[in-house]
Amino acid sequence: MKKLSMFLKYCVALCGLLVLSSGVDQQAFGQQGFATTWKTNNLGISAANQITVPESTGGLIYHQSVNSQPGLTNQNPEIEIYQNKTLISDNGVYNMGAVEVGGTSKAVDFDIRNTGTGDLILTGQPGNLIQIAGHNPNDFTITQHQVTSPIAPQDSRTFQIRFHPAVAGARSAVIFMQHNATGQIYRITLVGNGQNVPDIHLRQGTTNLPSGSNIYMIPRKYDFSISNTGTAKLIIGGAFNDPLAIYVSGTHARDFKLSDVSYPQAILPGQETGQFSIQFIPSGSGIRTATLTIRSNDPDEDPYIIHLIGNIDARPILETAQKSQMLVSPNPTTDQLTLSSEAWQGQNVLVNISNMHGRLVATQTIKQASSKIGLNVSKYKAGWYVLTVSFGKTRLEYRFLKR
């Protein structure tokens, strides 16, 4: 054993000479056995970075210990997921809130951020790097076309999640992604609540009238029906049981007579059991307007508003010449109007168009007009307009609808 030790001392000394020739210092041997250490101080590496060769019972054990080195950067990725400015930790929970059964929440954006110094690699197939599992995975949808791998240091990727509960009650799922950072898998639990809610819907005859719609009326009676397309009972009158659950208000409210109002205490899901009628009886000339309001317990359509717009007649109004007639077609129109009359042929004709508020929209003079006058109304906003045609001592007025 002594001879072996001496032999190794000579070998180590020889290695030391070789290292010294490269600018590396050699430390002294230890008292028991020996331990040979080369310090790489001339290479800019700290003294703590050493290679030690100790002697132990039963032979030689070689051990290398390497610490961090100044001037060199560890290439370590780090993953964090944020919703807006809020960090959602690994194994954290995000609440998608309450959503109507059969409805869909707004898209919620999440950011995958690489806060480390190396590339963050997400494992999986492109387009499916974020996966979902858990109790109700079909109630959540992930949009991840913007998520690609790798993600460079201090860079990020964005994905979206929507919640669309199929049934009422608590719903949950887990999204996860495999990666090359510490932990290897990042998990977030998604929770949400499916709610049964009513959904009010109004029709006039066979025409659907979403809240905010305009309905154009001439003097006659109109029948309306209220249905519940939601999943909970619809209560007409709202949470405060407003006694004026269905009413007409506005400038010419008295011209729109509400009658035959009938609805049960609650309209069940899928039923159409609410009815009422409105009869337009104008008390003056020109456009008449009012607002129909329906109060209910619908969470996002209370009040339900319909704009009532009435005019005296769909036919031309002859004001000074009983024998004069004018035809306007098509009515309603989308782009062109044709005015036809033998009464103004060869005369200078003044044409004015005003909106329902009396504001002049267009004016035009046609000299020595033919029996047909064409008007381009394609750039007009949708709605009712008043057409006034003047020639000689005659003035004709006509209402037309632009769609």
| pLDDT tens, residue by residue, 210-251 | 888 888 888 889 999 999 988 889 999 855 545 578 999 999
Same domain, yes or no: 182 and 89: yes
Determine the structural domain holding residue 261 and report its residue range. Answer: 200-310
- Provide the percentage of residues in the chain whose pLDDT is more than 90: 41
Same domain, yes or no: 304 and 204: yes
188 DSSP 8-state letter: E
Structure tokens at 331: 């009515």
pLDDT at 138 over 70: yes
Same domain, yes or no: 120 and 211: no
Same domain, yes or no: 106 and 180: yes
Same domain, yes or no: 330 and 279: no
**CATH code (residue 336):** 2.60.40.2550
Contact present, 396 and 319 (Cβ < 8 Å): yes
> Residue 20 has what pLDDT?
38
pLDDT digits (tens, 9 = 90+) for 13-44: 444 444 334 443 444 334 444 444 444 444 44
Lowest mean pLDDT among 194-208, 279-293, 294-308, 381-395: 381-395
Lowest mean pLDDT among 99-103, 225-229, 313-317, 389-393: 313-317
pLDDT digits (tens, 9 = 90+) for 53-97: 444 444 444 344 344 444 445 789 999 999 999 999 999 999 999
**More confident call, 39 vs 208:** 208
> Residue 356 has what pLDDT?
66
**CATH code (residue 159):** 2.60.40.10
Closest C-alpha among 359, 255, 357, 360 to residue 308: 255
Domain membership flag for residue 101: yes
What's this model's pTM, rounded to 2 decimal places? Answer: 0.47
Domain membership flag for residue 55: yes
From 276, 310, 344, the end of a domain falls on 310
Average pLDDT of the chain, as a whole number: 79
pLDDT at 202 over 70: yes
Closest C-alpha among 246, 281, 242 to residue 260: 246
Domain membership flag for residue 285: yes
> Residue 131 has what pLDDT?
96
Domain membership flag for residue 287: yes
Same domain, yes or no: 84 and 187: yes
Same domain, yes or no: 301 and 204: yes
Same domain, yes or no: 284 and 377: no
pLDDT digits (tens, 9 = 90+) for 322-342: 334 678 888 778 888 888 888
Closest C-alpha among 154, 301, 320 to residue 226: 301
Provide the b/e sequence for 61-99 (b: ≥16 CB within 10 Å). eeeeeeeeeeeeeeeebbbbbeeeeeebeeeeebebeeb
> Residue 265 has what pLDDT?
82
Domain membership flag for residue 108: yes
Domain membership flag for residue 73: no
Same domain, yes or no: 19 and 55: yes
From 286, 310, 334, the end of a domain falls on 310
Beta strands in 218-343 (DSSP E): 221-228, 246-249, 256-262, 274-280, 288-294, 304-310, 317-318, 327-329, 336-340
Same domain, yes or no: 214 and 111: no
Domain membership flag for residue 72: no
User: How many structural domains does the chain have?
Assistant: 4
Same domain, yes or no: 30 and 111: no
Lowest mean pLDDT among 137-151, 226-240, 284-298, 320-334: 320-334
pLDDT at 266 over 70: yes
Question: Please, is 42 exposed, middle or buried when counting C-beta atoms within 10 Å of its C-beta (0-12, 13-18, 19+)?
Answer: exposed
Domain membership flag for residue 74: no
Same domain, yes or no: 306 and 334: no
From 195, 222, 250, the end of a domain falls on 195
